[in-house]
Amino acid sequence: MNEMEMEATVWIFVATKAAFPSGVFGSVADAENWIVKHGLTGLLTEYPIGTGVFDWAIASGKFKPKPAKKLDAAFIGQFTTASMAHHHYEDGCRQD
């Protein structure tokens, strides 16, 4: 296992059309129990603890910034990547 795989993570659920997360969990199993219980639709994503997604993506080799790209606070603050582990749900059922 490399260092990135050993870091602590959490699973965050964001419902479709929601502006903010509605649940944070220590495992997929705990998250899925809650998602199924309430028949939720949305996205469950694994996030590293103690670092931002932008920095995590660079450190793990998932993102390589282009020199000409403007990497300002707005870009970094909104950065996301499909490289993060994630699962889609509809009405409480995993879709992937």
Q: Per-residue pLDDT tens for 9-25?
A: 999 999 999 999 999 99
pLDDT digits (tens, 9 = 90+) for 74-85: 999 999 999 999
Residue 71 has pLDDT above 60, yes or no: yes
Query: What is the secondary structure of 70-91 as a DSSP string?
Result: ---HHHHHH---TTS-EEEEET
Question: What number of CA atoms fall less than 13 Å from residue 13's CA on the CB side?
Answer: 26
CA 67, 71, 76, 81 torsion: positive or negative? negative
Which amino acid is residue 67, in one-letter code? P
Residue 3 has pLDDT above 90, yes or no: no
What's the chain's Rg over C-alpha atoms? Answer: 15
* pTM of the predicted structure, to 2 decimals: 0.85
Find the mean pLDDT for residues 41-64: 96
Q: Is the separation of the CB atoms in 95 and 43 below 8 Å?
A: no
pLDDT value at residue 6 = 59
